[in-house]
Amino acid sequence: MNPQEIIINYARKLVPLTDEEGEQFAAAFKEQRVKKRQFIIQPDFTAKSRYFVLNGSLRAYVIGEEGQDHTIQLAVEEWWISDYNSYIFQQPARMFVIAMEDSLLFQLTHEQESRLKDENHKFETFFRMLAERSVAFMQRRIISSLTQSAEERYELFVEKYPAMAYRFPQYVIASYLGMTTEFLSKIRNQRVKPKS
């Protein structure tokens, strides 16, 4: 399947599109290849685009006061990524977004997105649904961080996203779940051998 087909299929999961509308939608995107460790968003620069992952994986993170790194979002195939606070309000970013592997992205600029939304009610609906899904996803993450222990959060994560749990290095998972890599290591090894 080519990139255009992928994004059209994806969009059709949320809104019905005619073939013509599908093409129009896909035409707003631009392919972008990035290499491992390449940044696509950096603090102080405004995020001009959001990205749909066709292939590969990325990670969004912030650096805390004492230089500690906290993963805000992960993305693999068919996920979106950006610094949304920056993208939505077109203000300077606070986050880094970096490629974890050589990746192929579909870039959508803020301008192109605006144009799409103006052109067709269906596209506006699509982005509304996308945002609502993010709200639901983030709310689940907030509930998890309030109600569960480090171990429970990890178990839940592995259960829901087994593909990610072994695709990303451990320090990334740990900082996504809000714990240190050492502690995650302990959890992982405890699970294997409760008895010698």
Partner DNA sequence: CTTCAGGAATGAAGTAGATTAGGAAAAGAA
Partner DNA sequence: TTCTTTTCCTAATCTACTTCATTCCTGAAG
- Residue ranges in contact with a second copy by CB under 8 A: 62, 64-65, 68, 70, 72, 84-85, 88-89, 94, 117, 121, 124-125, 127-128, 131-136, 138-143, 145-147, 175, 178
Q: Which does 149 bind (CB under 5 to 8 A by kind): a second copy, DNA, none?
A: DNA
The helix/strand/coil state of 89 is helix
* Binding-site ranges for DNA (CB under 7 A): 66, 68, 149-151, 169-171, 178-183, 185-186, 188-189
DSSP 78: T
What is the closest distance, in whole angstroms, from the C-beta atom of residue 68 to DNA in the complex? 7
Q: Which does 12 bind (CB under 5 to 8 A by kind): DNA, a second copy, none?
A: none
Nearer to a second copy, 31 or 111 (CB): 111
Q: Which does 123 bind (CB under 5 to 8 A by kind): a second copy, DNA, none?
A: none
Find all residues with CB under 8 Å of 22, minimum gap 6, and list them: 8, 11, 12
The total of other beta-carbon atoms located within 10 Å of residue 31's CB is 12
Task: Return the axis-axis angle of helices 150-160 and 170-177, rounded to nearest 10°.
Answer: 120
Q: Which does 189 bind (CB under 5 to 8 A by kind): DNA, a second copy, none?
A: DNA
User: Could you tell me if 48 and 30 are in contact, meaning their C-beta atoms sit under 8 angstroms apart?
Assistant: no
Nearer to DNA, 108 or 187 (CB): 187
In terms of phi and psi (left: phi > 0; alpha: psi -120 to 50; beta: otherwise), the region of 168 is beta
